[in-house]
Amino acid sequence: MKTSIATVSIAGELPEKLSAIASAGFYGIEIFEQDFIAFDGRPRDVGEMVRDHGLEITLFQPFRDFEGLPEPLRARAFDRAERKFDLMCELGVDLILVCSSVHPQAIGGIDRAAADLRELGERAARRGLRIGYEALAWGRHVNDHRDAWEIVRRADHPSVGIILDSFHTLARQIDPDTIRSIPGDRIAFVQLADAPRIEMDLFYWSRHFRVMPGEGDLPVVDFTRAIMATGYDGPLSLEIFNDQFRGGSPRAIAVDGHRSLLYLADQVRLAEPAVSQSIPPMPPRVSVEGVEFIEFAADDNEAAALGRILSTMGFQKAARHIARDVTLWRQGGINIVINTELEGFAHSAYLTHGTSVCDIGLRVEDANATVERARALGAMSFSQPRFEGELDIPAIRGVGGGVMHFIDGNSELARVWDIEFQPLPAGPDARADAGLTRVDHIAQTMNYEEMLTWTLFYTSIFDVAKAPMVDVVDPGGLVRSQAIESPDRTLRLTLNGAESHRTLAGRFIAESFGSSVQHLAFACDDIFATAEALLKNGFEVLPISPNYYDDLASRFDLPGDLLGRLRAANILFDADERGQFFQLYSRTYGDGMFFEILERRGGYQGYGAANAPHRIAAQKRLLRNTTQTRWSQQTRA
């Protein structure tokens, strides 16, 4: 499969773009005229530079406002085309994109347009060049690929084909299966883009909100299935117009783009068996059976402080690693690992982010196949020197600078805690179990412009789906939140994109230098029994404003005793038509990390989004009071 990307899709100057595109593994590029014009070099130099990077120029574009023009505009359009042909010959590219006209003087008529394209194809053929005609979704007379194909069909020239763009078809809600009737050898090129569903002007939507396939809401898989069913065997190319991408890292965007095409091809291979032979297979998306462990990086002093917090939550210091300064804390099915090594990945993570989650271990069906799929999609495997007796646990580098390890039940990996750890006796200061049973979800925080990267990483590798994005109101600005969930919800991740450093999430990113996991949510079976056990253990709960409970009484028909119990234990409440949701929080520590303890009743599957503003306000209020207290103490000193 030949993968391509338009140079307009990523930021940077042309040499930087080419380096990023080549490093990501693309076969070729669509070169945009603007990129060529801005480069200080001859067309021949540009072509050589592209090929020096191991790339091919798959398409030159755009050539606008060509067909259906009255004289003398028609003659001038052909003159313009001849100059573009000169340029193409120097660049070393044989295909040009001609998009349907938006010129105010363009005259409609399929036969008129076909005649113009036939003559243009004849001129192109004399130079060994080809023409690809594309219907813009906002074209003056041609805005549907079915009309564009009829024009190409009537032009009836071997150097004239149709270019199909997923956005132009799907934004107008045209059935992509209508593509199946087009002969594959008449499709000159295919461009792919996704987009969130937004009701707005088509041109503005296209120029600012396109995203990689799989990052939006359009049925790009169905579009590509129809393309491949025709027998088309040319490049699949990304043409992305997105304001965030234009300001992002060229390398990161290029990697995302290549990953999106590989994932798209894999989905097409599975859904369209007739074309499976033309798309190389990869291991299936990984089914996650649960969170096996969460590993913190810390130094000795901060590990002790974290241990005290875990102890008040009912965790027991259960085991010590046979060769490393690593301690296992355990409660129910939750394994928390604290790593205080003075070398290795965890130590580097501590030096960079402070006390933070550096590693997440997932239970999967096949650990090696998980790494194989991740690598096929451009992720990097991870390893570091092992001590005698340590297992070789398959791992990859995740997004946000962390690591992910994989444990399965098909090998000795399932016995990792018995093999690598020695049990510790219960200490005299051990606290009572608080009834925590498992990891409900892991909340990861990132800059908003990175959310698409994180979403694509998880959805392409693992068998998970993304929930609709919601806005969380922070007094300092909005935070965009999106849940990623496995079908049986054994894995839940919430991705929280901060747009401002004034939000609690933005502050966490700044102060932890990009650490990703901001809070961990643990499930229990009886929130009130757990709250009582936590109180006895000395757990410091996040205090919630009394006003919250007054408002709660107006929103839900709660029995008076339940409302009083919620208020007394600082428990937040939510409900929907399926069930009820209870949650309480720890106070923040370190650079802003915290814990959540929750109970789901009935079929409730949300995350208490309505409570988030109240939780954030309480956290900020506590943070502000702590800062003022410290300032007063320093002033008196």
- For residue 107, is it within any domain? yes
Query: Could you tell me if residue 637 is inside a domain?
Result: no
What pLDDT, in 10s, does the model give residues 241-284?
998 888 889 999 999 999 999 999 999 999 988 886 778 888 99
16 annotated ligand binder: no
Question: How many other β-carbons are positioned within 10 Å of the β-carbon of residue 365?
Answer: 16
pLDDT at 633: 47
Q: Is 519 annotated as a binding residue?
A: yes
Is the domain of 298 the same as that of 397?
yes
Q: 406 near 393, Cβ under 8 Å?
A: yes
- What is the tens place of the pLDDT at every residue in 370-410? 999 999 999 999 999 999 999 999 999 998 889 999 999 88
Please tell me whether residues 259 and 298 are part of one structural domain: no
Last residue of a domain, one of 401, 423, 445: 423
Q: Please indicate, yes or no, whether residues 247 and 319 belong to a single structural domain of this protein.
A: no
User: What whole-number distance in Å separates Cα of residue 334 and Cα of residue 391?
Assistant: 20
Q: Of 213, 246, 278, at which residue does a domain stop? A: 278
Does 239 carry a binding-site annotation? yes
Same domain, 242 and 374: no
283 lies in some domain: no
Residues with Cβ within 8 Å of 560's Cβ and at least 6 positions away in sequence, in order, are none
Is position 634 within any domain? no
Residue ending a domain, choose from 400, 423, 446: 423
Residue 138's pLDDT is what?
Answer: 96
One domain for residues 395 and 440:
no
H and E: helices and strands count for the chain = 21, 25
Query: Do 461 and 594 fall within a single domain?
Result: yes
72 upstream amide cis, omega within 30 of 0: yes
Answer yes or no: do 445 and 347 share one domain: no
Which of 248, 314, 287 is CA-nearest to residue 446? 248
Identify whether residues 272 and 292 lie together within a single domain: no
Q: Specify whether the CB–CB gap between 592 and 518 falls below 8 A.
A: yes
The CA-atom distances, in angstroms, between 109 and each of 139, 148, 171 are 13, 11, 24
Note whether 17 and 142 are same-domain residues: yes
- Looking at the structure, do residues 149 and 217 belong to the same domain, yes or no? yes
Q: Which domain holds residue 548?
A: 436-625
Instruction: Write the DSSP symbol of residue 516.
Output: -
In this predicted structure, what is the pLDDT of residue 626? Answer: 60
Task: Tell me, yes or no, whether 428 lies in a domain.
Answer: no
Whether residue 495 is contained in a domain is answered as yes
Cα 11 from Cα 240, distance rounded (Å):
11
191 in a labelled binding site? yes
Give the residue among 61, 52, 49 at the shortest CA–CA distance from 5. Answer: 61
165 labelled ligand-binding? yes
CA distance 135 to 299: 60
Q: What is residue 499's predicted lDDT score, i.e. its pLDDT?
A: 85
Per-residue pLDDT of 327-368, as tens digits, reads: 999 999 999 999 999 999 999 999 999 999 999 999 999 999
B/e letters for 16-42, b = 16+ CB within 10 Å, e = fewer, are ebbebbbebbbbbbbbbbebbeebeee
| Residue 514: per-residue pLDDT | 77
The verdict on residue 326 lying in a domain is: yes
| pTM across the whole model | 0.92
440 plus 556 within the same structural domain? yes
pLDDT of residue 428: 74
* Residue 441 marked ligand-binding: yes
Written as one string, the DSSP assignment of 373-388 is HHHHTTPPB------T
Q: Which residue has the tokens 């010959």?
A: 89
Give every residue of the chain whose pLDDT is below 70, as ranges: 276, 625-637
pLDDT at residue 631, as a whole number: 44
536-561 pLDDT, tens digit per residue, is 999 999 999 999 999 998 999 998 89
pLDDT at 625: 67
DSSP label at 9? G
Does some domain include residue 304? yes
CATH number at residue 572: 3.10.180.10
Domains of the chain: total? 3
Q: Write phi, then psi, for 364 (nearest 5 degrees).
A: -135, 170
Question: In CATH, what number is assigned to the domain containing residue 241?
Answer: 3.20.20.150
Q: Are 563 and 621 contained in the same domain?
A: yes
